[in-house]
Structure 1
Amino acid sequence: MKTFFAATIALSMLAAPAMAAPYDAGHAGKPGMGQSQGHPGSQQKPQTLKPIVQKPVVQKPAPKPQYSYNGRKYDAVRGPAWNAPRGYDAHRNWNRGQKLPAVYRNKSYVVDYRAYHLKKPAYGYQWVRINNNVYLVKANNGLVSQIVFNLFY
């Protein structure tokens, strides 16, 4: 049994170079494996590869963020950079019924309601921007009565 395996391995090692040699090696001018003979006397034209032309990838623009107000959807607005007042947290969210500090009711945080499809505030109220949200607050004490989330992005 050992001699059978040894003989098989020896034969496979001897046959490996012959298997690796091309079919037409040593037969110059004669068609090799995979080549067509064509008609006698005709010359074959070398095949040229066509360059691969890739179509440009067209990316769809990302949809604009939207906000909802009074049952309608509007496109969010890219507003100017917003900075929190000194000493206050820039990422704090306020809820209805809470009172904003007087610093947030400053003119620099007040928003023009007409430019952003917001309803006209009642007498004594104003729209105030805090981060990306807009709050309707009472001007004299800062009581939050309405919130529009993500008006700015």
Structure 2
Amino acid sequence: MYDQGRHEGWYKKGGHVPQAYRGRQYVVTDWRHSHLRQPPRGYHWVRSDNGDFLLVAITTGVIASIIAASH
């Protein structure tokens, strides 16, 4: 997701996460364990291939925020 998104130009705040990356395998269900704040209503956290966390609108796929992974 990270490399493809950078290449295609959508991996940024305000970009749209493609449907292929909005499946359950990417959604962070235990956001507390990952030290994230509770997502606002209508949003969820998505983990990118490089470990970044994206706050994404559930219905539209718009990225509201990106938190860089700490390596």
Query: Taking CA–CA contacts closer than 8 Å with sequence separation of 6 or more, which of the two structures ends up with the larger relative contact order?
Result: 2
Runs of 4+ in 1 over 2 A off after TM superposition: none
Counterpart of 1:97 (choices 14, 19, 25) is 14
Q: Name the SS of the counterpart of 1:97 in structure 2.
A: coil
AA aligned opposite 1:129 = R
Q: Which runs of 5+ in 1 are unaligned?
A: 1-83, 85-89
- C-alpha separation in 2, matches of 1:102 and 1:114: 25
Matched, 1:144 2:32: no
Higher strand share: 2
Query: By how many angstroms is 1:134 displaced?
Result: 0.8
Query: Equivalents in 2 of 1:114, 1:99: separation in Å?
Result: 25
- How many residues are paired up? 64
Aligned pairs for 1:40-119 within 5 A: 91=3, 92-93=5-6, 94-111=11-28, 112-119=30-37
Unmatched runs of 5 consecutive residues or more in structure 2: none
> For the residues of structure 1 that align with 2:26 and 2:34, how far apart are their CA atoms?
14
Which structure has the bigger radius of gyration? 1
Residue 40 of structure 2 is matched in structure 1 by 122
Percentage of matched positions with identical amino acids: 33
Counterpart-to-counterpart distance in 2, 1:150 and 1:114:
15
